[in-house]
Amino acid sequence: MLSENFSLQTLNTFGMNVHARYFASFQNIDTLRYLLKQSTCKEYPLLILGGGSNVLFTSDFQGVVLKNEINGIQLESEDDQFYYVRAGAGVVWHELVMKTLSLGYFGLENMALIPGSVGAAPMQNIGAYGVELKDVFESLEAVRISDGEIVVFSKDQCAFGYRESVFKNTCKGQYVIVSVLFRLNKKQVLKTHYGNIEAELSGMPESDRNPIAVARAVMRIRTSKLPDPALIGNAGSFFKNPEISLAEYERLKLQYPELVAYPVGNDKMKLAAGWLIEKAGWKGVKRGNAACHDKQALVLVNLGDASGIEIFALSEEIIESVHQKFGVYLHREVNIF
């Protein structure tokens, strides 16, 4: 069941030409449990792969890659306000967004066109245009790698933060997420204040404004700004937006009055990392085929046959240069292997 020396080139959106020492895919929990019991899976490092849109391989993976292909979307229950919808971890995220909208279940529209799988969404509490996974999340089921038991995680237990969850921290490498239960609204509550959504919808009669129109607006904005991984290798934002103290923000704002920042609670500010990188002079810069995207500096791209090491080296240069200029340290969002 395990293939050896398996090419991952089409399974990561950076298009890195690397191989897994061992590889298998699973379409249900029984197969996953069977695989986890194999001695190879116990002896070698494991990597659970979804759509490969948030990973950078810097070399061949000297372990076992297990690709999640658990499908299925079902309405589990409903109450006065919400539909509770369960999706298999292998469902393509954008397909879930469009399917639920077509059924009149609302809440995922601002997260249209985020690449990847449902199972990876809780890993970094995916988010876009003012909505995060945690806003529509009820619970998830995960298989514990050590003994194959199914464990249910509530929202609190997931400890979601900005591009963070328990699965990137204390539970790192211990669970395979197999399904997610979403709490989707029966009522339409449009969130259009973020980015250019309002501008995209301008001129549209009030009666035509609905979650599907918002999803379409988000899709148009994203398509105009972000490189399509099918054409240019990338993993979306390479870095997180840094959060800094108010005092640090005041210091920077004096020096750079045009600084782009947003409040986080009462005591922190979130800086737009793309702005910092652009102002440090990196937008469009190429190092061979590794480059900082010319429309959105937060995205690093593979223009051809760049290696993971070259992309990583470019990210090091950017971190160093932004730190020198602004005194702010950027952290990578993409998972490096």
Q: Could you list the active site residues? A: 163, 237, 333
Nearer to ligand FAD, 87 or 318 (CB): 87
What whole-number distance in Å separates Cα of residue 68 and Cα of residue 178?
A: 8
Dihedral of CA atoms 114, 119, 123, 129 in degrees, nearest 10, equals 30
**Taking CB under 6 A as the rule, which mask of x and - marks residues 87-126 in contact with ligand NAP?**
----------------------------------------
Least separation in angstroms between residue 126's CB and ligand FAD is: 3
Residue in the shown chain whose Cβ atom is closest to ligand NAP: 236
* Site for ligand FAD contains 241 (CB under 6 A): no
Least separation in angstroms between residue 133's CB and ligand FAD is: 8
Nearer to ligand FAD, 116 or 211 (CB): 116
Out of 8, 29, 121, 300, name the contact with ligand FAD by CB under 6 A. Answer: 121
At residue 207, what is the residue type?
S
* Site for ligand NAP contains 52 (CB under 6 A): no
Q: Which of these ranges, 52-60, 101-109, 205-213, 283-291, lies near ligand FAD under the rule CB under 6 A?
A: 52-60
What whole-number distance in Å separates Cα of residue 301 and Cα of residue 287?
A: 11
Q: Which of these ranges, 16-24, 99-107, 114-122, 304-312, lies near ligand FAD under the rule CB under 6 A?
A: 114-122
CA distances for 124 relative to 89, 147, 159, angstroms: 14, 24, 10
How many CB atoms within 10 Å of residue 267? Answer: 10
Quick one: CA dihedral 225, 230, 231, 237, positive or negative? positive
Strand partners, 299: 237
Phi first, then psi, for residue 262 (nearest 5°) are: -135, 140
**Among ligand NAP, ligand FAD, none, residue 195 binds (CB under 5-8 Å by kind):** ligand NAP
Of 92, 89, 97, give the one whose Cα is nearest residue 141.
89
* Site for ligand NAP contains 296 (CB under 6 A): yes
| Angle between helix 93-102 and 211-225 (nearest 10) | 150
Nearer to ligand FAD, 165 or 307 (CB): 165
Of 232, 122, 113, give the one whose Cα is nearest residue 182.
122
Out of 195, 201, 212, 309, name the contact with ligand NAP by CB under 6 A. Answer: 195
Of 156, 158, 179, give the one whose Cα is nearest residue 170.
158
> What residue spans of 256-333 are helical by DSSP H?
273-279, 308-326
* Site for ligand FAD contains 116 (CB under 6 A): yes
What whole-number distance in Å separates Cα of residue 195 and Cα of residue 222?
A: 11
* Site for ligand NAP contains 36 (CB under 6 A): no
- Give the residues lining the site for ligand NAP (CB under 6 A): 127-129, 194-195, 225-226, 236-237, 241, 262, 272, 274, 296, 298, 333
Residues within the interface to ligand FAD (CB under 6 A): 13, 47-55, 68, 89, 114-117, 119-121, 123-124, 126-128, 176-177, 226, 229, 234-236, 335
